[in-house]
Structure 1
Amino acid sequence: MKTVVFDLDGTLADTSADLIAAANYCFGSLGHPNLLSQKDDAGVAMRGGRAMLELGCQKLGLMDEGFVHTQYPRLLKAYSRNLDKHTKFFPHVIDTIHKFQILGVNSAICTNKPSALAEELISRMGARHLFGELIGSDTLSTKKPDPAPFIAAVKGSGGIVEQSVMVGDTVTDFDTARAVGVPIIMVDFGFKGYDFGGAKPDAIIKSFVELPEVVMGLLGSSS
């Protein structure tokens, strides 16, 4: 059965504001509670907590891996308290998943967000039932771009790896798809800080309205 495997942050949902708030909570201990901004740093926020902590250190002229290592658990704790305060699905996400259901296409999530946070977020947003499987950064012993989480997401949702496709927004997602040997569709929603790193995906979409046609074109119309 055909399966679309989605990244979460920056692909299905705009989580940037809540992630930036959690990172700024950490930098508040250094006297910079508003170091990162939604305007300039949303694209980096989509790459996760560590990326934001590293960016903040760069802005402060700090090359302190110890700070990132120490603050990351604090960031996750702060984020868990308000993980859906501002987060919302990108336009047409839910309608698109429903259309895939009509087409007989599975949907799954493969994210480098800790699984408990990912499960909690999707559940709070009322959409957990739409995804046959959710694999987080700690579900297995490896995470993206290792192929194992993607494969687990496909199989867990009842799909076949050879009839699957990855939808993501970062080089990590691109590398994951290439490691598995499946097509990669990348989203570009115009956030400053997005960085495909020179990756050449099989397709780029700017709206979820485009996705069903692109997926069926890559995987074929037969079941």
Structure 2
Amino acid sequence: MRTVIFDLDGTLADTSGDLLEAANACFRMMGHGDVLVHGTDAGVALRGGRMMLTHGLHRVGQFDADTVDSYYPVLLDAYAEKIDVHTFLYPSAMEAVERLKSAGYGVGICTNKPEGHADLLLQRLGIRDAFAALVGADTLPVRKPDPAPLRETAKRAGGDPDLCLLVGDSDTDRNTARAAGVPSVLVTFGPSGEDMAALEPEALLHDFAHLPDLVPELIGHPGAPAKAARA
């Protein structure tokens, strides 16, 4: 089976608002107030909890690696409590997923969000059952851009890891796909969308409505001989 594997944050959903709220909860505990700004710091948010803490502490001139380490679990707890307040799915995302499934592709999620948080968010959004597999940052001993999580997601979704495609929104996703020897499609509607072309993915995606027509061009049609997947 050919599979289409999705990143989560910044790809299927804009999770930046709730991530920034969790980071600011930590900064308030430190006595700094709300350091990170909605919208402006969305790209930082989608780089993960440690990056938000690091960026914010540099902004107030009090960066310390030990502080990042000590507040990271606090951030995760705060995020879990309010994980879906501001988060929203990108337009046509789930319609594209369902069209791909109907066409015979397997679908899964490979994210650098901790698996428990990813699962919780997908449950809250009501879309967990749409995906045959979920691999998070802590599912395996390694995380993206190591290719192992992507290949494992494809396997768990019932597919051949050599016949998958990764839809993402960052250099991490581009490098993961490259390391796995498979195509990547990077979305341009996320916070870092204007930077995606420079990463030279196999394709750019401006609207999820176009994804089901794009996939066969990159990995072939379901049931086609493997040699027909890509030139």
Shorter-chain TM-score bucket reads over 0.9
Residue 46 (1) aligns with residue 46 (2): yes
Is the CA contact (8 Å cut-off) linking 2:10 and 2:191 kept in structure 1?
no
Displacement of 1:180 after TM fit? Answer: 0.4
Write the mapping of 1:185-200 to structure 2, written as runs, cut at 5 A. Answer: 185-191=185-191, 196=196, 198-200=198-200
Separation of aligned partners in 1, 2:160 and 2:42: 34
Report what 1:139 is aligned to: 139
Displacement of 1:38 after TM fit? Answer: 1.1
Report what 1:57 is aligned to: 57
Q: Cα 1:175–1:157, aligned 2, differ >3 Å: closer, same or farther?
A: same
Normalized against structure 2, the TM-score is what? 0.92
Report what 1:104 is aligned to: 104
Separation of aligned partners in 2, 1:114 and 1:195: 25
Report what 1:16 is aligned to: 16
Is the CA contact (8 Å cut-off) linking 1:107 and 1:157 kept in structure 2?
yes
Displacement of 1:203 after TM fit? Answer: 0.9
Separation of aligned partners in 2, 1:9 and 1:207: 16
Displacement of 1:158 after TM fit? Answer: 0.2
Residue 75 (1) aligns with residue 75 (2): yes
Displacement of 1:134 after TM fit? Answer: 0.1
Which AA in structure 1 matches 2:188? D
Deviates more, 1:27-36 or 1:193-202: 193-202
Separation of aligned partners in 2, 1:205 and 1:116: 28
Is the CA contact (8 Å cut-off) linking 2:118 and 2:136 kept in structure 1?
yes
Report what 1:171 is aligned to: 171
Is the CA contact (8 Å cut-off) linking 1:147 and 1:180 kept in structure 2?
yes
Displacement of 1:37 after TM fit? Answer: 1.0
Displacement of 1:192 after TM fit? Answer: 5.8
Separation of aligned partners in 2, 1:47 and 1:107: 23
Report what 1:66 is aligned to: 66
Give unpaired runs (5+ residues) of structure 2: 224-231
Separation of aligned partners in 2, 1:101 and 1:119: 20
Separation of aligned partners in 2, 1:197 and 1:63: 32
Report what 1:155 is aligned to: 155
Displacement of 1:39 after TM fit? Answer: 2.1
Residue 4 (1) aligns with residue 4 (2): yes
RMSD: 1.6
Deviates more, 1:108-117 or 1:187-196: 187-196
Separation of aligned partners in 2, 1:221 and 1:193: 28
Q: Cα 1:222–1:83, aligned 2, differ >3 Å: closer, same or farther?
A: closer
Q: Segments of 4+ in structure 1 off by > 3 A?
A: 192-198
Which AA in structure 2 matches 1:157? A
Separation of aligned partners in 1, 2:111 and 2:34: 27
Normalized against structure 1, the TM-score is what? 0.95
Displacement of 1:198 after TM fit? Answer: 4.1
Deviates more, 1:73-82 or 1:203-212: 203-212
How many residue pairs were aligned? 223
Is the CA contact (8 Å cut-off) linking 1:108 and 1:153 kept in structure 2?
yes
